[in-house]
Amino acid sequence: MKPTYLLLMTGLVAASCQKQAAVEPAEVPDPNWVKLEISTEFSSDAAYSVAGDLDRTLLVATKQKVYASSDQGKTWRESHDFNGPVPGLLQRHDTVFALTFTQTNALGQTVASFADIYTADFGTTWHYTAENYAYDEYRTMSRPIGLVTTAATTTYRIRENSKPMPNSTSRLNTASDLLRLAGAVQKELGLPARHYLNNLHLDAQNRLYVAASGLRFDATTGEAIPPEKGKKQPAILYVSRQPHP
């Protein structure tokens, strides 16, 4: 998904002018999802891409850096500073390639591409791909953004939403939806809270990972909720408790 901070902040300013602004509701543990938070130096961050496994090592790209966790998200260590979001992490066995560009493929899908750096030890060290891979190989690596498909051909995808802005030709980005497509049947899946969703990942057990913004959105209107003063909004990652067929 594309960074949307300008439009989101515009919406926050408008919301703060209302007499009764929405407030973040209290959260309770969810029976279907595990919520992980990655706190960074930013007051508001987001998760952009994911690789790995909750039970082994997870890699999560945030606004500027990739972080790693080997204790199911209890603690996170800085893995590499990319000085910007990494829109895709492509895992091939125990090697993870950082896809740093975005483009539109022949099918009209937005994909992450150009694997110019990789790690073979889940984030302990990173190396330039050109040192060990042929140019034609790493230049053609890509993966869809916000779209994953299981071995049973069930597809999960992110739907971006927006609404017109008064007296403007621009549109305001609102909360995203998580969709499940099985054959001709499409179903919306609920998350513990509404966010702007950036990407999806499936691990070897078919658990679904949802990379999301720390910024919360109103459950009814879909509009951004102004953050509480002084309260940080860490990058958010949701992990399904059960495999998704």
pLDDT in tens, 46-58: 999 999 999 999 9
Can you say whether residue 178 is alpha, beta or left, with left for phi > 0 and alpha for psi between -120 and 50 degrees? beta
CA distances from 68 to 65, 127, 139, 198, 202 (A): 10, 16, 25, 18, 17
Paired strand residues for 38? 235
What beta strand segments (E) does 39-85 contain? 49-52, 58-61, 65-69, 77-81
Residue 190 lies in a domain: yes
What is the number of structural domains in the chain? 1
Neighbours of 53 (CB within 10 A): 18
Rounded to an integer, what distance in angstroms lies between the CA atom of residue 150 and that of residue 155?
6
- pLDDT tens profile 73-124: 999 999 999 999 999 999 999 999 999 999 999 889 999 999 999 999 999 9
How many CA within 13 A on the CB side of residue 96? 26
Residue 89 lies in a domain: yes
Paired strand residues for 52? 58
Position 7 pLDDT exceeds 70: no
Closest to 59 (Cα-Cα) out of 33, 32, 2, 97: 97
pLDDT of residue 73: 97
Rounded to an integer, what distance in angstroms lies between the CA atom of residue 28 and that of residue 148?
28
Residue 109 lies in a domain: yes
Closest to 35 (Cα-Cα) out of 220, 210, 245: 210
Residue 169 lies in a domain: yes
CA distances from 45 to 61, 67, 139, 201, 232 (A): 10, 13, 29, 19, 9
Residue 25 lies in a domain: no
Secondary structure (3-state) at 139: helix
CA max distance for the chain: 59
pLDDT of residue 25: 58
**What's the domain range around 226?**
33-243
80: its two tokens: 């590499």
CA distances from 1 to 125, 157, 213 (A): 27, 11, 11
Q: How confident is the model at residue 245 (pLDDT cuts 50, 70, 90)?
A: confident
Residue 22 lies in a domain: no
Q: How confident is the model at residue 228 (pLDDT cuts 50, 70, 90)?
A: confident
CA end-to-end span of the chain: 24
Pairing status of strand 194-202 against strand 208-217: antiparallel
6: its two tokens: 């300008």
Neighbours of 105 (CB within 10 A): 11
Q: How confident is the model at residue 191 (pLDDT cuts 50, 70, 90)?
A: very high
Position 45 pLDDT exceeds 60: yes
Position 26 pLDDT exceeds 90: no
